[in-house]
Amino acid sequence: MAREYTRRQALTASAATLPSLAFAQPPQGKGRIRHSACSWCFMSQGEKWTLDKLCQEAKGAGCVSIELLRPEQFATVKKQGLEIAIASNGMPGGFKRGFNNPAHRDELIQKTGETMQACSQAGVPSVIGFVGFKFTEPDNPKSAVISLEDAEKHCLASLKQAAALAEKWKVTLCIEHLNTRDASHPMKGHPGYQGDDLDWLARVVRKVGSPRVKILFDIYHVQIMHGDVMRRLQECKEILGHIHTAGNPGRNELDETQEIHYPAVMKQLLELGYKGFVGHEFIPTRNPREGLRQAVAVCDV
């Protein structure tokens, strides 16, 4: 009971610090966490903001970055004085077509490499990557299944090619761990994704052996698949490339209805020496401005 009380107390206290929506000035945060807003959550969900609107609201919430953008969107964000923490990789089908399937290797390496070059030229530090679905035909769950052993072999071969490009362009490729348990919504869980075991993914990334290939540690997904988030951050500390947040269950706001104690998790990141961005990637269920400001306030330790 004491732990639950502390969590709610921290969330309530953090939410209470949110500025009135009448004020345009961003809140004065502690500056130790580099907050980023994930574009798809606010541009394709809820009120469906434009990119310009998202930039304005993100700055007002205390974010310094917008993320998961294509190269042609970089200029809009830069013009508003914001950074791009991590870019999308340009692959159709997103997380379905990844490094585990040699059928997509040539296209994936080409598109990822082109994105890395654009990121290098624009000062964008990272590009997202995915293991991919376990089916040989990603859109057909009745097709043959790629074994974990083969997936590891294919990932290593493809990621070593991608690592050479990442090192050339001085951009970090961050491979995301996703949950396969939540089938309630296409963006709350990803049944069929082969990179759902964090230990397996961490082993693959370490075997690649490049400082330019790391893990995108999504706290929401890790909580669903494994729990024990803070210990797992500790275990992955040298391969943490990027962080995502969302409330669980539901992939919604970071409020009192969800179970993850984000203030403690953020403090753990700081203690581990993490200096990257924290991307807020929740699906709004209410006023998205309030939700984004609350996420920043809760995580601003």
**Residues 263-297, buried b or exposed e (16+ Cβ, 10 A)?**
bebbbbbeeeebebbbbbbbbbbeebbbbbbbbbb
Whether residue 2 is contained in a domain is answered as no
Where does residue 68 fall: left (phi above 0), alpha (psi -120 to 50 degrees), or beta otherwise? Answer: left
**Residues 141-157, buried b or exposed e (16+ Cβ, 10 A)?**
eeeeebeeeebbebbbe
Whether residue 6 is contained in a domain is answered as no
Q: Per-residue confidence of the chain (301 residues) as pLDDT tens digits? A: 444 434 444 444 444 444 333 334 556 678 999 999 999 999 999 999 999 999 999 999 999 999 999 999 999 999 999 999 999 999 988 899 999 999 999 999 999 999 999 999 999 999 999 999 999 999 999 999 999 999 999 999 999 999 999 999 999 999 999 999 999 999 999 999 999 999 999 999 999 999 999 999 999 999 999 999 999 999 999 999 999 999 999 999 999 999 999 999 999 999 999 999 999 999 999 999 999 999 999 999 9
Whether residue 25 is contained in a domain is answered as no
Beta bridge partners of 126: 172
Q: How many domains does the chain have?
A: 1
pTM of the model: 0.91
Whether residue 21 is contained in a domain is answered as no
H-type alpha helices, the chain: 2-16, 39-43, 51-61, 74-79, 105-122, 148-169, 198-208, 219-225, 229-235, 262-271, 288-299
Whether residue 13 is contained in a domain is answered as no
Where residue 113 sits, what CATH number does that domain have? Answer: 3.20.20.150
CA distances from 244 to 44, 237, 280 (A): 18, 15, 6
Whether residue 235 is contained in a domain is answered as yes
Whether residue 15 is contained in a domain is answered as no
- Whether the CB-CB separation of 61 and 27 falls below 8 Å is answered with yes
Q: Is the peptide bond before 249 cis (omega within 30 degrees of 0)?
A: yes
CA distance 57 to 50: 11
Which range marks the domain in which residue 288 is found? Answer: 31-299
